[in-house]
Chain A
Amino acid sequence: MTVLILTCEEDVTADMAVVHLNGSGVPVVRLDPADLTGGVSLSGEFVHGRFRGHLSVGGRLVSIGGLRSVWVRRPGVPAGRAPQPSAWLTEEASQALYGMLRGCDARWMNHPDAARRARHKPWQLRLAQRCGLPVPATVITSFPRAAREFAERFPDLVVKPVSGAHPQDPPRAVPTSRVAPDTDFSAVAYGPTLLQRRVAKRADIRLTVVGERLLAARKATAPDADPREVDVRFAAPGPPWEPVEVPARTADAVRTYMRRAELAYGAFDFAEDADGTWWFLECNQSGQFGFVEVETEQPIARSIAEWLSRPIPDEPAELNGASSTVR
């Protein structure tokens, strides 16, 4: 049976797992939904009480019923590169592709329903609390007064996008940034704003979860780090990522989070404080892992390949295919 990988061609991080799948002789079909109606074709029949579907790309033909797993890695917008793209065609292509795939028994990393829900940061914060992970005090508000009062209680604050998205018109990035105590919060009225108590961190933690496997890496905060830069993605390179053990209590809480979120893959970001406590910041359900693996040589890609290679369970889940298939 075949592993289907939905991602863009330039996704060299996906390649890291494909290499392992090839090495173990597991058939792989890789396609980008953006190429639908171009290099990618699909067909499905619902006749006489049965479904038969196929996908085709680059001369490869795969039966949807012959899929053992689907890895939703970095797919483009369906039909996004069609000769005459349109919002209508994208919706048609999305419904056709994902609608047929949802009907198969393959295991998902991650199921689209679970993925969509898991992207909501407020939902992440609440789930993390319920799982017993320490969460820094946070407010999400469009009331300037609520922001001011929060700043009085927690004077050392950061601001970050609620969605994690970045504005594109023009293209800008919104890193997690420190907020000065005397800041004017009146602009909070113009958009929901996420303010969070800053964790005085001595390290960033990236914990990558693949099924039941936890692979954590730690990047110490450089002694001479600019105190104004709190977002590791934008800070000077500093010390390298290094493998680190996951505290037992954190491991239990993270596994609970993954199970309740119905995720097979997740990349958790924590800030480690001076006491060694790991403060939950977020869980990216499709978070990058390549940069961690190339620095630490942790077997993340191999773990993903092994998870994708497993056979379909005897009794697939009824609702979204995730609840009984994430182990």
Chain B
Amino acid sequence: MQPFALNYARPAVELAVATPYAYDSGLQLNVLGDGRIAARDHALLREVGTTTSTAGSKTHFDD
């Protein structure tokens, strides 16, 4: 009784690594431990993958 498309489903992969930044409500930005703004560090964003399309997201389905 399973819909056809679900024959092709696979387990969702949650982001396993903890993000090395935290939200600063004063700045309204996420900042790194040393106070730098995370969004300015493109190499880091590439590494952690948090800006990547998130197929399977619980909250956002159109990426």
| Of B14, B26, B50, most A-chain CB atoms within 10 Å | B50
Chain B residues near A233: list those with CB within 8 A.
53, 55, 63
Q: How far is the CA of A28 from the CA of B1 in the complex (A)?
A: 50
Tell me the nearest residue of chain A to B10, going by C-beta: A173
Are A166 and B57 in contact (CB-based, < 8 A)? yes
A-side residues, CB < 8 A to B, are 8-10, 12-13, 15-16, 18-19, 28-30, 57-58, 74, 76-77, 119, 147, 159-161, 163-168, 170-175, 177, 185, 187-188, 190-191, 193-194, 231, 233-234, 284-291, 293-295, 297, 301
User: How many residues of B are in contact with the other chain, CB < 8 A?
Assistant: 44
Chain B residues near A193: list those with CB within 8 A.
3-5
Chain A residues near B49: list those with CB within 8 A.
291
Tell me the nearest residue of chain A to B61, going by C-beta: A165
Are A58 and B8 in contact (CB-based, < 8 A)? no
Are B53 and A175 in contact (CB-based, < 8 A)? no
Are A174 and B6 in contact (CB-based, < 8 A)? yes
Are B29 and A19 in contact (CB-based, < 8 A)? yes
* Interface residues of chain B: helix, strand, loop or mixed (majority): loop
Are A10 and B55 in contact (CB-based, < 8 A)? no
Q: How many A-B residue pairs have CB under 8 A?
A: 149
| Given A18-B28, A174-B5, A193-B3, CB of A287 within 8 Å of CB of B61 | no
Are A172 and B26 in contact (CB-based, < 8 A)? no
The one of B1, B5, B13, B39 in contact with A161, judged by C-beta atoms closer than 8 angstroms, is B5
Chain B residues near A58: list those with CB within 8 A.
25-26, 28
User: What are 27 A-B pairs with beta-carbon distances under 8 A?
Assistant: A12-B21, A12-B30, A13-B50, A15-B39, A58-B26, A58-B28, A74-B59, A119-B62, A161-B5, A164-B62, A166-B61, A167-B9, A174-B5, A190-B2, A190-B3, A191-B4, A193-B3, A234-B55, A285-B62, A286-B60, A286-B62, A286-B63, A287-B62, A287-B63, A288-B63, A290-B45, A293-B42
Q: Lowest 8 A-B CB distances belong to which pairs?
A: A290-B51, A191-B3, A173-B56, A15-B39, A9-B23, A171-B12, A177-B8, A187-B4
